[in-house]
Amino acid sequence: MKFEVTILGSSSATPIFNRNPSSQALNINDHLYLVDCGEGTQQQMLRFDVKPSRIDHIFISHLHGDHYLGLVGLLSSMHLNGRTKPLKMFCPQQLKEIIDIQLEYSETTLQFDIDYYFTNPVQPETILDNQDVMVESVPLDHRIACTGFLFRQKKRLRKLIKEKVAEFNIPVEYYSAIKKGADYTAPDGTVYKNVDITLNPETPKTYAYCSDTQYNENYFKQISNADMLYHEATFMHSMLSRAKITHHTTALQAAEIALITNAKRLLIGHFSARYKTLNELLDEALKVFPETELALEGKTFVIGED
């Protein structure tokens, strides 16, 4: 089961020092999910070979420009490149108005439908449930309404042991039932226990995406035990007063959150333009949570990988 995230943008507020505003491409079983879409996302997708035609779901955390200003351009390119299949958009309700007015004044009628699912910034909700993943919104504490997103892999079927299937001449028509946990009874009455002819599926993994927020324990329980936690870390802890004013988190606080919520790995991102290099932020977080990495653009992280 493929479950990995490619970082397209990791800067806060503005593009600077070769860093772009927030955007990530999540690959779940070869289906792409775009999480936030800051300015320059299209260029980053070209640069890192993320194909827009494979994106059917877009998640926008909130309406500060560094998280959505690349969206109208992306939608326009999808239209110009002949997209006709629907696109699912999970976002604040006001985003529809922003997109509609852009399309209206450019006299553009998209060739594809956008199916909107409006997020609730106060109450956690399951906003997507398909064969691969279940996605919950995570209310955060930012200056404006903002939600993170929690991606939970679906449990897969058991895996057939090919050598055993061949050895016992198990017909193909029994495969589906066996994968679901059934034993197999051969024509001579011999019963082959499921545990002897299958392997356990991989344990489902979780990815928690916490975009802009200040430290607030209200969302900790929901993101607990994540295999990978992405958390904003806009400032060093020496800038805590600035972080509080702007409703952001420090690298130290992000590490504390990972420790408290029992995350297995932590990615920090959304770095302030004041930092030309990022080693200081990483070092600050590592002192609290050793399994911390920088959300570097172009890097792909396998979720659940030790």
Q: 192 and 238 share a domain?
A: no
| Structure tokens given for 237 | 């802890």
Query: Which residues 6+ apart lie within 8 Å of 82 measured at CB?
Result: 111
56 and 186 housed in the same domain? no
Q: Which two tokens stand for residue 216?
A: 């607030």
Contact 197, 218 (CB under 8 A): no
User: 80 and 194 share a domain?
Assistant: no
Catalytic positions: 66
- Given a contact cutoff of 8 angstroms between Cβ atoms, the answer to whether 198 and 183 are in contact is no
How deeply is 299 buried, as exposed, middle or buried, from its count of CB atoms within 10 A (0-12, 13-18, 19+)? Answer: middle
- Rounded Cα–Cα distance for residues 256 and 82 (Å): 46
Looking at 168, 199, 230, the residue that finishes a domain is: 199
Among 176, 199, 222, the domain-final residue is 199
Domain encompassing residue 178 = 159-199
Task: Give CA separation, 132 vs 69, 192, 300, in Å.
Answer: 29, 30, 19
> What is the CB neighbour count within 10 angstroms for residue 202?
13
For residues 78 and 166, state if they share a domain: no
Looking at residue 43, what is its pLDDT?
A: 96
Same domain, 147 and 224: yes
Give strand pairing partners of 148. Answer: 138
Q: Any idea what DSSP says for residue 106?
A: T
Same domain, 188 and 285: no
Tally of structural domains, the chain = 2
Distance CA 249, CA 242 (A): 9
Same domain, 46 and 136: yes
Structural contact between residues 210 and 231, judged by C-beta atoms closer than 8 angstroms: yes
The pTM (predicted TM-score) of the whole model is 0.89
120 and 183 share one domain? no
Q: Which of 73, 144, 82 is nearest to 106 (CA)?
A: 73
Per-residue pLDDT in tens (0 to 9) along the chain, 306 residues:
789 999 999 999 888 878 999 999 999 999 999 999 999 999 999 999 999 999 999 999 999 999 999 999 999 999 999 999 999 999 999 999 999 999 999 999 999 999 999 999 999 999 999 999 999 999 999 999 999 999 999 887 788 888 888 888 888 888 888 888 888 888 888 888 888 788 877 888 999 999 999 999 999 999 999 999 999 999 999 999 999 999 999 999 999 999 999 999 999 999 999 999 999 999 999 999 999 999 999 999 999 876
Using an 8 Å Cβ cutoff, are 27 and 2 in contact?
yes
User: What is the rounded CA–CA span in Å between residue 288 and residue 2?
Assistant: 30
CA–CA separation, 155 and 158 (whole Å): 9
Last residue of a domain, one of 175, 199, 223: 199
d(CA 179, CA 8): 37
CATH code: domain of residue 55: 3.60.15.10
Same domain assignment for residues 96 and 13: yes
